[in-house]
Chain A
Amino acid sequence: MKKIVILGAGTGGTIMANKLRKVLERDEWSITVVDKEPNHYYQPGFLFIPFGIYNKHDVVKPKASFIPAGVKFIINEIDRVEPDKNTVYLTNGQILEYDFLIVATGTHIKPAETPGLVGREWRKSIFDFYTHEGAVALQTFLKTWEGGDMVINIAELPFKCPVAPLEFAFLADEFFVKKGIRDKVNIYYTTPLSGAFTKPKSSKMLGELLQEKNIHIIPDFYLERVDDENKKIISYDGREVKFDLLTIIPVNMGADWVARSGMGDDMNYIATDKYTLRSEKWENIFVLGDASNIPTSKAGSVVHFASDVLFDNLIAAIEGRPLIAKFDGHSNCYIETGFGKGSLIDFNYETEPLPGTYPLPGIGPFGLLKNTRINHYGKVMFRWIYWHLLLKGKELPLESQMTMAGKEL
């Protein structure tokens, strides 16, 4: 019996377990998935919890219901991998050997990397919304907050879902308007980027939207530490921003077991061929999603598109054929912009997000870099698609390769 081990049963690991079990013979290949968490969180839903649009229970389901029959699911923490011995060690002492390994353990916030962040103000006036607990705590806080300086900060690049803090800012604006206290809230958006976003066209469009909503952007702000006594954040070049409420995207890093195994860079990301999605060092290891160092967004849509390529290449590797499927870095993100509207960006390794339309058979077109109602519905619909189609590895009416159709140069 040959063995495939999948590390992580989040978005990517779950998709791969479903895709592979459908095609690999059960009497030839065993598939094992390991995750430390029994619950699957719909992470894009965390964004909506602080504002009470979603509640605590709307984003959680048991992981086991998405793992197909015929796949062994182990709930335990990965301690380390010895890639030269094809062996995985779990913290409970269990040892798993593999012929092929798929790494999909994602990226996670590391607030302790920033001095002063996890101190007496943590989850009192300082919150994250990248974890379930953080988003729920912020919801409770916002219910009674009467206003003041709300500072949004991005501590380090890269971080997953690069549009999420912008969406948070837009939704916060709407929330305070509807609560009738917008005039009592100043919103500051502090970012290490030189503008609202990375690439020129999207940065301009999103920057204008921030301005329209009276959200003050403070660019090139690279966070050194938090002074929780005086409620200030301080950048490396000595700039200080005072806050009453700090919502932060803490430093994101790959899983700790990667560091313990000596398999990653200094942010615990694994060097991965950006086209084949195979590890640059080990021929029988593939890396899917946020855990890899490929130069595109760390986002669920990327995981979904990449999973098609990884699947083709893994099957090719199993059959001893060359890996010909090529990932193009395709990413596709809906951006909530508040008041029932949304925007959409679509891009890959080579092409920056461009304005235009995004064709989607039967439903679209959606407006690219435009602020429209239909884009908002795209985002709302996505939760259903995620649970019912995407995780199960079913076909979606979306091409994994980016298309130039509809884009304006």
Chain B
Amino acid sequence: MAEKVYAGKTVSVTDDGYLTDPNQWTKEIAIEIAKEEGIELTDKHFAVIEYIREKTLKGEALTIRTIGKSGMVDTKGFYELFPGAPLKKASRIAGIAKPSSCV
């Protein structure tokens, strides 16, 4: 575990750069993490990120498939917003834990 400063705030992060405490998250932090991922956040990004935060903090395990079926964004659109590894990138920007697939 390490500490990092985003938007003037010190937060603790895992080795892969995910916030360890989702309560430390702010929109400003999200914008800076997104920059590290090479993504400029738009309203659409935020809508998806907030959806992911809400569901995850309620204890639901999300997959690319469930997000694609959520009505928020379809799978293709999700990839366009967060290219390459959408769920991992979106989770990191949303300040929640790295999605883990069970073995």
Contact = CB atoms under 8 A, between A and B. Distances in A.
A353 interface: yes
A107 to B, nearest CB: 14
Contacts of A192: 64
A198 B100 CA distance: 8
B103 A197 contact: yes
Given A236-B75, A236-B76, A295-B61, A353 B103 contact: yes
Interface string B39-83: 000000000000000000000010111100100000110110001
A162 B85 CA distance: 20
Given A224-B76, A236-B79, A198 B102 contact: yes
Contacts of B76: 224, 236
Interface in A314-365: 331, 345, 347, 352-353
Interface residues of B, number: 18
B84 A331 contact: no
A153 interface: no
A198 B79 contact: no
B101 interface: yes
Contacts of A236: 64, 75-76, 78-79
B3 to A, nearest CB: 23
B103 A237 contact: no
A402 interface: no
Main secondary structure of the interface of A (DSSP, over half): loop
A158 B101 contact: yes
Interface in A124-168: 156-158, 162
A295 B75 CA distance: 23
Contacts of A296: 102-103
B103 A297 contact: yes
A295 B61 CA distance: 10
Interface string B82-98: 01110010000000000
A295 B65 contact: no
Given A162-B103, A222-B64, A295-B61, A237 B75 contact: no
Interface in A194-228: 194, 197-199, 202, 220, 222, 224
